[in-house]
Amino acid sequence: METPAILAIEMHKPLANIGAHAMLAFAPFLVPFFGVDNVGAYSAIFRERKNLDRLLDKLAEPAEVSLGAKEA
């Protein structure tokens, strides 16, 4: 399941900064569904590219571990 997630994040990486700012602009509408802290946290994740790279690394870790276990 990590492969589709990695593909989706890689595909939307150029638009992540715009999405983060749009999330802040629409925060008054999103807060009732996600909460104040979550809207700010998700916006912070997508605001900087290095955060997306770290997220992709974390998603790729289990895939690498499971591939290593299958090969042994």
- For 6-15, what is each residue's pLDDT tens digit? 899 899 898 9
- Does residue 45 surpass a pLDDT of 60? yes
pLDDT of residue 32: 93
Q: What is the mean pLDDT of the chain?
A: 86
Joined tokens for residue 36: 């104040």
8 Å CB contact between 39 and 19: no
How far is C-alpha 46 from the chain's CA centre?
7
Q: Is the pTM of this model over 0.85?
A: no
Share of the chain above pLDDT 90, in %: 36
pLDDT of residue 3: 87
pLDDT of residue 71: 60
Q: Please tell me the distance from the alpha carbon of residue 39 to that of residue 51, in angstroms, as a whole number.
A: 16
